[in-house]
């Protein structure tokens, strides 16, 4: 994957997606990295315009992950590391996007500083969703890379499996259950609107890791590249390489939030997001206890039932695909049982309002 100037790539999102829609899967996602060098060459380019000479990116197998049962034998992944002397860089999509969602399955090396760049102008100015996997760092916070504007993060890492909460917006008590320190995790980022509204979810978290509204003073461009960063500097890259299993994008129609390309039933979604190790179901009450928030991850279509302590059904909900969020309002004090059913099975969790 050769380094190239950002000036050579000035492609806008396709106004008429045409035949590209045929490449979208049955869940409406386009896989822009599937583990092969061919997909890396087709959808990505290396930039040396920020953080160094571009860094080191390569596609190869990882026998240790195969032995650990994290990936299949023969499966390749994308690796990233600094070049000698602490030189980093960025890997950018060939396309520029405005409203878009991106999912990244990643396994960062501990004590590394990286990020997912959204709406980047190719010079390294972007809204960075941080992947600062180091003491004091954060996964999913926002950093205005080369821009004026406030940063945002809800917690900081103490160790690979422990965090220090900063804001009460996301309950981090179960961090070790949400985060797999020895395998791949998924970051799901969505940016919409102008100025951009950015949300980011980690695998099955009930609340976003980030819910961030940019301002008119901080807008760099209406469209931009999606990028993966290797931070420059020996102090920001003390660990081993970062690893990426797959990456997907879902382009959205500006102003509507609807997918630009419809789901393609003839193209199965062969690459699945990881399913939670905590039965794909989480519950939390709002501040006054009157609303019950339920979230998690569903593998395709799902049905959710809320029952009271006597087994009487209070509410039925249905939905489909990926990260789910439901709110049940006006509940009395008592014991409730939430049941989630999808094609992986049926999961239940108790919720008590005192």
Which of the two residues, 204 and 268, has the higher pLDDT score?
Answer: 268
Distance of CA 93 to the CA centre of its chain: 16
Range of the domain at 324: 281-353
Question: 206 with 327: CB under 8 angstroms?
Answer: no
In a domain, 1, yes or no: no
Question: 282 with 295: CB under 8 angstroms?
Answer: yes
**98 and 186 inside one domain:** yes
DSSP secondary structure, 252-304, as one string: B-TTT--BSS---TTS---SPPPPPSSTTEEEEE-TTSS-EEEEEEEEEEEEE
Judge whether residue 257 has pLDDT over 70: yes
Query: How deeply is 51 buried, as exposed, middle or buried, from its count of CB atoms within 10 A (0-12, 13-18, 19+)?
Result: buried
**226 and 308 inside one domain:** no
**179 and 37 inside one domain:** yes
Judge whether residue 5 has pLDDT over 50: no
In a domain, 270, yes or no: no
In a domain, 274, yes or no: no
CA–CA gap between residue 44 and residue 46 (Å, rounded):
7
DSSP 3-state of 78: strand
Q: What is residue 226's predicted lDDT score, i.e. its pLDDT?
A: 94
Judge whether residue 169 has pLDDT over 70: no
CA–CA gap between residue 184 and residue 333 (Å, rounded):
39
- The two tokens of residue 28 are 């409406």
Question: 42 with 126: CB under 8 angstroms?
Answer: no
**243 and 292 inside one domain:** no
Query: How deeply is 240 buried, as exposed, middle or buried, from its count of CB atoms within 10 A (0-12, 13-18, 19+)?
Result: middle
In a domain, 323, yes or no: yes
Q: What is residue 305's predicted lDDT score, i.e. its pLDDT?
A: 92
The predicted model scores a pTM of 0.76
DSSP 3-state of 347: strand
DSSP 3-state of 242: strand
**247 and 287 inside one domain:** no
**152 and 293 inside one domain:** no
**240 and 291 inside one domain:** no
**144 and 288 inside one domain:** no
In a domain, 265, yes or no: no
66-80, 90-104, 147-161, 242-256: least confidently modelled range: 147-161
Please say which residue of 251, 267, 301 terminates a domain: 251
| Residue 306, domain CATH | 2.60.40.3110
Judge whether residue 149 has pLDDT over 90: no
**198 and 339 inside one domain:** no
In a domain, 272, yes or no: no
pLDDT digits (tens, 9 = 90+) for 180-221: 888 899 999 999 988 889 988 887 555 678 888 887 766 666
Question: 298 with 324: CB under 8 angstroms?
Answer: yes
119-128, 224-233, 282-291: least confidently modelled range: 282-291
Judge whether residue 281 has pLDDT over 60: yes
CA–CA gap between residue 132 and residue 157 (Å, rounded):
9
Distances (CA, A) of 269 to 28, 31, 228: 9, 9, 23
Q: How many domains is the chain partitioned into structurally?
A: 2
In a domain, 266, yes or no: no
**27 and 163 inside one domain:** yes
pLDDT digits (tens, 9 = 90+) for 309-339: 888 899 999 876 666 778 888 888 888 889 8
Q: What is residue 279's predicted lDDT score, i.e. its pLDDT?
A: 45
CA–CA gap between residue 337 and residue 346 (Å, rounded):
13
**227 and 326 inside one domain:** no
In a domain, 240, yes or no: yes
62-71, 87-96, 155-164, 271-280: least confidently modelled range: 271-280
CA–CA gap between residue 167 and residue 151 (Å, rounded):
13
Q: At 11, is the pLDDT very low, low, confident or very high (cuts 50, 70, 90)?
A: very low
Q: At 59, is the pLDDT very low, low, confident or very high (cuts 50, 70, 90)?
A: very high
Please say which residue of 205, 233, 251 terminates a domain: 251
**52 and 100 inside one domain:** yes
CA–CA gap between residue 130 and residue 124 (Å, rounded):
14
| Residue 175, domain CATH | 2.60.120.560
């Amino acid at each position: 994957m050769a380094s190239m100037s950002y000036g050579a790539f000035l492609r806008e999102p396709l106004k008429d997606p045409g035949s590209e829609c045929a490449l979208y899967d049955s869940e409406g996602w386009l896989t822009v990295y599937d583990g092969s060098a061919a997909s890396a060459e087709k959808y990505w380019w290396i930039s040396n315009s920020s953080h160094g000479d571009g860094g080191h990116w390569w596609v190869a197998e990882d026998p240790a992950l195969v032995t650990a049962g994290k990936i299949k034998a023969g499966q390749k992944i994308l690796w990233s590391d600094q070049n000698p002397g602490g030189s980093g860089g960025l890997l950018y999509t060939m396309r520029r996007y405005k409203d878009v969602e991106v999912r990244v399955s990643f396994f960062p090396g501990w004590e590394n500083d990286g990020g997912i760049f959204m709406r980047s102008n190719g010079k390294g100015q972007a809204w960075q969703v941080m992947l600062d996997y180091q003491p004091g760092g954060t996964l999913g916070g926002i950093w205005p890379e080369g821009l004026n504007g406030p940063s945002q993060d809800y917690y900081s890492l103490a160790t690979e499996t422990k965090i220090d909460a900063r804001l009460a917006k996301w309950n981090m008590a179960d961090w070790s259950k949400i985060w797999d320190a020895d395998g791949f995790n998924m970051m799901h980022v969505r940016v919409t609107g102008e100025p951009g509204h950015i949300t980011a979810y980690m695998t099955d978290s009930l609340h976003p890791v980030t819910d961030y509204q940019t301002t008119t003073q901080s807008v760099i461009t209406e469209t931009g590249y999606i990028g993966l960063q290797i931070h420059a500097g020996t102090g920001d890259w003390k660990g081993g390489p970062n690893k990426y299993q797959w990456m997907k994008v879902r382009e959205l129609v500006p102003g509507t939030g609807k997918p630009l390309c419809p789901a393609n039933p003839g193209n199965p979604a062969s690459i699945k997001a990881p399913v939670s190790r905590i039965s794909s179901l989480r519950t939390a009450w709002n501040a006054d206890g009157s609303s019950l928030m339920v979230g998690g991850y569903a593998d395709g279509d799902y049905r959710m039932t809320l029952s009271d302590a006597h087994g009487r059904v209070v509410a039925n909900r249905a939905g489909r695909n990926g990260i789910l969020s439901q709110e049940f309002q006006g509940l009395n004090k008592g014991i409730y049982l939430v049941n989630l059913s999808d094609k992986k099975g049926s999961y239940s969790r108790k919720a008590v309002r005192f």
